[in-house]
Chains A and B, each alone.
Chain A
Amino acid sequence: MKKLLIILMFALLPLSLVAQSALAAGGPPKDILKGKITEMNVAERTVVFQKDGTEEMTTLVLGENMKPEDIRLNKKVLISLDKHAAAGNVMKEVSVMFMNLTGSKLLALLVIGLIGGLLSGFIGSGGAFVMTPAMMSLGVPGAVAVASNMCHKFPKAMIGAYKRWKYGQADIKLGMVMAGTAIIGVQIGIEIQKYIMDHFGSAGSNLYISTVFMIVLVFVGGYVFYDAMKLAKGDGKETVSKLALRMQKIQLAPMMHFKTAKVTISAWITVPVGVLTGMLAATIAVGGFIGVPGMIYVVGASAIVASATELIIAFVMGAWGSVQWGLSGLIDIRLSLLLLATSLIGVQLGALGTTYVKDYIIKVVMATTMLIVAVSRGVKIPGYLVDLELTSPIDPGTIALFESISFWSLILALGSAGLIIVVAMVKGMSADRQSKKALAGA
């Protein structure tokens, strides 16, 4: 345990330097104000705002779409300013930063945490794609939801990575190489995002994110599913993909040897996989959906090693992200800790579950999740096309229907993945128990 921790800590040191420079490049939004509204003048539609950490008072004007009822006095709020307004002090939106945690919200967070953790321990990633939207639908402002989710992700990934390392599944060196290069990818991803944001606005950026999400998920998820089905029909024994075998033949210095993954491969192959993982992580927030298949089909690691190694990547990137979000003070630690309360149990359960199942079950779970999540993004595309005026307007009822399909398909993805894992684990455990009994009886 100590050895692993020391290795991880040292790996984080150089990354903190990268984090410093990345801070200037992207990360948390900057056009958001954080502080308290102390007074309101309903007739003039103005409020007096005190920015966090300062005594300075500024006057802000309510935007056209805002109602005085939206304003809560003396509560910590997040205010987004209208960038297109003539004056610099027009508000577009205001949201209370810390929601009141009622019993049902608490329970929802605990349940999401448990299933998300289970998925994470099993396939190496998972949860983030449903936790952020779920938190937002509970009334958490978007930026706070992303930040709090990030802060819950890295401790969860750390515990999961440690467990799977103990089972001899995680390749620390591969994880570190991937994480290091993924951070470069994140920077590239952020630059692309910024370019699109500047040229096509937020609808363009949403369209770009959803389209990338769809294409990657359908193609990669579809291939993983096809592969898993082939394995399920056969003897379930995993073979190294032809592509990976060809890649391993490329003898281009520097060559890297990964002991746990049992792979010797040129850095010229590993680095692009890492960069793509990072780029995707910056774009769709779930790098694992490309990292795990990349490690399986391009590098040539087994599904068990790839999903375990992904947890190391998730830890490094999550810790790096949490520091950034922490610097802008957007983490609601209550949400992070409530998710952690159950996800730390889930992640260990998922991790030990991998010791009972055949390798291809991991692929089945991964593919199922990816394909259902693809639906959730796909149904959002028509709405964005309308926003960009690329198609004729759609009836608001239809848009609302798409929105609810999107949300419920995420829940379905989480639920079905959780179910497959539990069933596979219970089967594996009872088979193991019976074979032990048979041996003991003999």
Chain B
Amino acid sequence: MNITAFDKNMSAIAFAEAGEHDTARQILGENAKKQHAKSPVPAAKSKPYLKTIIFGSMSLSAYYLLFTNEKLVTQVFTMGGWHWVFPVGAAFFFSFIHGAFASNLLSSIGIEAKK
């Protein structure tokens, strides 16, 4: 037989009225724990503010470095031949740090995928 939350609450009340406070608490505590695990609303996760700031500043400084050295960068990156590693490598590098920043940013403002 399934014992519903209502049954449990009632039995806890019965014990409490009978002066068995500890037993009552035990029953309710167990109840609360179970409900917590089953809850459709997960406990609020701490938002990744720190990660957002770290990746954000990494990405921002990388962008800053690249654009302040614009002339040198465009010159070297477009030499052709094996120099293809520069643009392709840069694209990979930025996608990792800036992608991580974007992911954490979305989580920080509370936009997450449906579970």
Q: Chain A: residues with CB nearer than 8 A to chain B?
A: 34, 52-53, 76, 97-98, 151-152, 154-156, 158-159, 163, 167, 319, 322-323, 325-334, 336-337, 340-341, 344-345, 348-349, 351-352, 355-356, 428-429, 432, 436-437, 439-440
Contact = CB atoms under 8 A, between A and B. Distances in A.
Interface stretch (B9-17, B19-27, B104-112): B104-112
Say what secondary structure dominates the interface of chain A. helix
B49 interface: no
B81 A329 contact: yes
Contacts of A52: 78-80
Contacts of B66: 333-334, 337
Given A331-B78, A332-B74, A151 B88 contact: yes
Nearest to B67: A334
A156 B113 contact: no
Interface of B: 39-41, 63, 66-67, 70, 73-75, 77-81, 83-88, 90-92, 94-95, 98-99, 102-103, 105-106, 111-114
B4 to A, nearest CB: 13
Contacts of B75: 76
Contacts of A333: 66, 73-74, 77, 86-87, 90-91
B105 to A, nearest CB: 7
A355 B79 contact: no
B78 A158 contact: no
B84 A323 contact: yes
Nearest to B77: A333
A349 B92 CA distance: 20
A223 B39 CA distance: 43
Given A53-B80, A328-B80, A155 B99 contact: yes
A427 to B, nearest CB: 13
Overall SS of chain B's interface: helix
B40 A439 contact: yes
A344 B95 contact: yes
A167 B80 contact: no
Contacts of B103: 163, 348
Contacts of A334: 66-67, 70, 73-74
9 nearest interchain CB pairs? Answer: A326-B84, A155-B95, A329-B80, A439-B40, A352-B113, A329-B78, A355-B114, A331-B87, A345-B102
Nearest to B40: A439
Nearest to B95: A155
B86 to A, nearest CB: 7
A98 B102 CA distance: 28
B91 A355 contact: no
Contacts of A34: 78, 80
Contacts of A53: 79-81
B106 A349 contact: yes
Given A151-B87, A327-B81, A344-B98, A440 B63 contact: no
A331 B77 contact: yes
Contact of B40 (A98, A167, A355, A440): A440
B87 A336 contact: yes
